[in-house]
Homo-oligomer: A and B are copies of this chain.
Amino acid sequence: MRKRNLLLSLFIIFCGNLYSQSITGFTPENIEKQLELEASFEAKLSAKNLDAWMQKMAAEPHWVGTEYGRENAEWMAAQFKSWGYDSRIETYHILFPYPTIRELELVSPASYKAKLTAVAVEGDPYTAQGEALLPSYNAFSTDGDVEAELVFVNYGIPKDYEELEKLGIDVKGKIVIAKYYGSWRGIKPKLAAEKGAIGCIIYSDPEDDGYVRGDVYPEGAFKNKTGVQRGSVMDMPLYPGDVLTPGYGATKDAKRLDRKDAPTITKIPVLPISYEDAQPLLEALKGPVAPDSWKGGLPITYHIGPGPAKVHLKLEFDWQLTPAHNVIATLKGSEYPDQWVMRGNHHDAWVHGANDPVSGMIALMEEARVVGELAKKGQRPKRTIVYGAWDAEEPGLIGSTEWVEDHEKELQEKLVAYINTDGNGRGFFRAGGSHTLQAMVTEVADIVIDPQTGVSIKERGIARQLVNGGPGTFSLSALGSGSDYTPFIQHAGIASLNIGFGGENAGGEYHTIYDTYPHYKRFKDPEFAYGIALANAAGRIVLRLANADVLPLEFTQWHATVSEYLKEIMDETEKMRKDVEKHNSLVSKNAFELAADPRKVFVKPTAKEAIPFIDFSPIQNSLAKLSSSITAFEAVSVEGLPLSKKEALNKAMQGTEQVLTDVSGLPRRSWFRHQLYAPGFYTGYGVKTLPGVREAVEQKDWKEAQEQILKLARTFNSMDIHLQKLISLTE
């Protein structure tokens, strides 16, 4: 709709600070009104609330199923109600394991019993709550009692196993020890099990997450030698949410899988430990010295093994159905009550969770408070706004997933967009999401002021990109997984965003007993200035989506982004071809063997299968066609469009993101339906764009690649038909 946007762009508002702004989706007569509303909204945000609410919500541990978690939910529901929302608690009954036995011992050549407990520290009374703190463990590890030689596998990701293969080391029947980082944690036991390992230990190496990064808690923000990162190892790239109710809500009476059949529980026991506990284990390894890139920050020579270190790992869990309480608060829209805009953040934590999730949750609440207050004063949003506080995000996005699965049809009919936040801190604005929303988010980022520098959060972000050699434009990253947007965008096909601030708040508290109010105040966002900035940015996004004359979706940037993803895959295919050619040439020259040290174990590489030429033209053709339709759509003028047509247009635009999904889902994981964005099957949180095609190429499954190319071309053709329909609605 170029004409409309162009006109709006020319309609420049001079605010007090001479700040110019154009806003997508608003007709000229409504721009000023909207900006005034947003200014009132911003003016009413109070950092004091954030501070008080964090102290309240993070006073005690509140993982799913705890009494304090339930209290937090009820308190939030009451708060929303007091602000004018129709609020309720929607409870699901989910499987949640609580650790009853956690034993890890080095049994030979020396003996060491892992402590598995982080110490209380001076100046932070929350860390001294003892028994009340959740023991450190990985949720959805299977029960197990194993003893075997140990193998150090670096991060335990695919390329590490390739390296082990070169060294002739097999993990079959062994217990692996992997560093945290390098991938989402759940990939480590998944891959280890695929490779035949019988147990998996994950530890935080001081190089990635300890004294190498900076002074440790309580002197500094980083992980001390006793800190342990908890976290879920559920196979979320298969499906997130309740392991027993895939694809539908875990209501009280839902039909449930047998636990033994639940495919997202790990195949082998897995336990996270501190670097203090890891050192004696690693020190007891012999065998080849680890490659340089594997070495961490412990004062030892990193060996790979296997053995002679032998360890015993025993884990048992209490597997109980546990209530997960989602808080849902609704403010009905004045003009389009059946078009919803949803904001969400989870409220459950692993321990106190001052940063994760409370720092995001309180920003959402302050935003909701002011939106409610404005509504009471007559500035009710045109569309319905729904605030959600999710439970059980930590063990596997469970609260949000069950809710989305339970309400899927209604959401697909009504929900315009979902805007997610999670932890928040000092630094730079980060936003990921549906690229149809990139233009709108860019405009918001251009008006929200960074509290430390006084320039817009967009300008500050671009400054950092430029200094780091990046581009001079704002863009949305693509969404993988790791927070509650996943069921919305990747399952239900709802346009989604995930936003927050960070980059100047580094620390080692993530999922430990050290993620507390004192830690947050010292190292994250001491004055809650970025909490307010987040409420401001998210609130403006919500208010624009709620009040726009025409939904602010933009397709030119979307098309450019998608085209770039395709180019990446095509380039990657060419690179793979060249790499294989180079590899095979070296094999034919016997270069690998000649270059290898004959005194070290060396598995001679063999020739690889040549990379075939792939026909990407179906996607290229469909994108070319789409390009014309987008040009036509942007040329449409909506000025003076009769109300009925505008309403029909809005209604049709609401379902745009769903056009990008396919009900058959991705290969081997039908729960993930979005054809543009998915968490990587072997990266976990890390995104794979155009995942069907990209993962087939990466896995060298050329038949599947060609099938997925056709499927993706069909998706883009559907998008083309959809755009034609939108255009026709304006004629």
Contact = CB atoms under 8 A, between A and B. Distances in A.
A374 interface: no
Given A452-B598, A453-B594, A504-B599, A301 B464 contact: no
Interface in A127-150: none
Interface stretch (A1-9, A214-222, A609-617, A710-718): A214-222
Contacts of A504: 597, 599
A591 B459 CA distance: 9
Contact of A459 (B299, B462, B466, B594): B594
A101 interface: no
A298 B459 CA distance: 39
A39 interface: no
A525 to B, nearest CB: 11
A589 B301 contact: no
A467 interface: yes
B591 A467 contact: yes
Given A299-B298, A301-B211, A595 B216 contact: no
Interface in A199-226: 206, 211-216, 220, 222
Interface in A550-605: 586, 589-595, 597-599
A211 B299 contact: yes
A297 B295 CA distance: 10
Interface residues on A, range: 35 or more
A299 B297 contact: yes
B595 A289 contact: no
B591 A463 contact: yes
A302 B597 CA distance: 34
Interface in A434-481: 452-453, 455, 459-460, 462-464, 466-468
Contact of A301 (B215, B462, B594): B215
Given A299-B298, A586-B467, A598-B452, A214 B289 contact: yes
B220 A467 contact: no
Nearest to A216: B301
A300 interface: yes
Nearest to A462: B591
Given A298-B299, A463-B589, A466-B586, A289 B215 contact: yes
Interface string A485-506: 0000000000000000000100
Contacts of A463: 589-595
B594 A460 contact: yes
Given A289-B215, A504-B599, A589-B466, A594 B455 contact: yes
A300 B597 CA distance: 34
Contact of A297 (B297, B426, B598): B297
Nearest to A600: B504
Contacts of A427: 597
Interface string A303-332: 000000000000000000000000000000
Interface string A533-551: 0000000000000000000
A467 B592 contact: yes
Nearest to A452: B598
Contacts of A590: 463
Contacts of A597: 427, 504
B595 A460 contact: yes
B301 A220 contact: yes
A449 to B, nearest CB: 12
Nearest to A206: B299
A298 B211 CA distance: 10
A206 B295 CA distance: 12
A504 B595 CA distance: 10
A297 B296 CA distance: 9
Nearest to A212: B295
Interface string A384-398: 000000000000000
B212 A301 contact: yes
B464 A594 contact: yes
Given A466-B589, A467-B591, A598 B453 contact: yes
Interface string A349-391: 0000000000000000000000000000000000000000000
Contacts of A298: 299
Nearest to A302: B212
A301 B595 contact: no
Interface string A408-431: 000000000000000000110000
Contacts of A467: 586, 591-592, 595
A233 to B, nearest CB: 28
A189 to B, nearest CB: 28
Contacts of A598: 452-453
A532 to B, nearest CB: 17
A87 to B, nearest CB: 38
The 9 closest A-B pairs by CB, nearest first: A463-B594, A463-B591, A464-B595, A299-B299, A467-B595, A463-B595, A504-B597, A452-B598, A211-B301
Given A460-B594, A463-B589, 5 more contacts: A212-B295, A216-B301, A453-B594, A463-B594, A464-B595
7 contacts: A212-B301, A212-B302, A213-B301, A216-B301, A426-B599, A460-B595, A464-B595
